[in-house]
Copies of this chain bind each other. A is one copy, B any other.
Amino acid sequence: MTEQISGFVPHDHHHCITSALDTAADQCRERGVQFTPVRKRVLEILLEAHTAMGAYDVLARLDAEGLGSKPPVAYRALSFLVEQGFAHRIEKLNAFVACSHPAATHSPAFMICRSCNTVAEADMPETFGAPAEQAGFTIEKTVIEAEGICQNCKDSE
């Protein structure tokens, strides 16, 4: 199975959840940061959804489970996950999605299907190189998001 670009293809979802959680736990141990119950559960929620979720959607789940009911609880956990690279923020959607390759640091690019709302993560090195150099601009973070329609949705039109 090519895992270059997951998201639009079926896959063993139970496995991809537990494996991502394990990876996150490992990395937290290595980095000396805490993978607390709230943080873990939020990552798990994003992984289960397997698509981008708004902070308040995540919060609703937490609330239903008694893990927190106020916005800062969700926002803090999500910020942590984003900082650690376990999740990404999709600016275009004001939403968050679990990372598809949490092992390495990377600057991700996303393809967002406007029909089924699937968000697929691709790895896109070097995007900005030339114009940035030309302008003497030093890049620290990039946001790369494409909106369109995925193969599945195109086929079923």
Contacts and interface: CB of A to CB of B under 8 A. Distances in A.
Q: How many copies does the complex hold?
A: 2
Contacts of A128: 109, 111, 124, 144, 146
Contacts of A122: 131-132, 135
Contacts of A109: 128, 131
Given A136-B151, A142-B144, 13 more contacts: A4-B134, A91-B92, A91-B145, A111-B128, A123-B131, A124-B127, A127-B127, A128-B144, A137-B148, A138-B148, A140-B149, A142-B145, A142-B146
B140 A111 contact: no
A7 B7 CA distance: 37
9 contacts: A7-B135, A91-B145, A92-B143, A109-B128, A123-B131, A127-B127, A136-B151, A142-B147, A143-B146
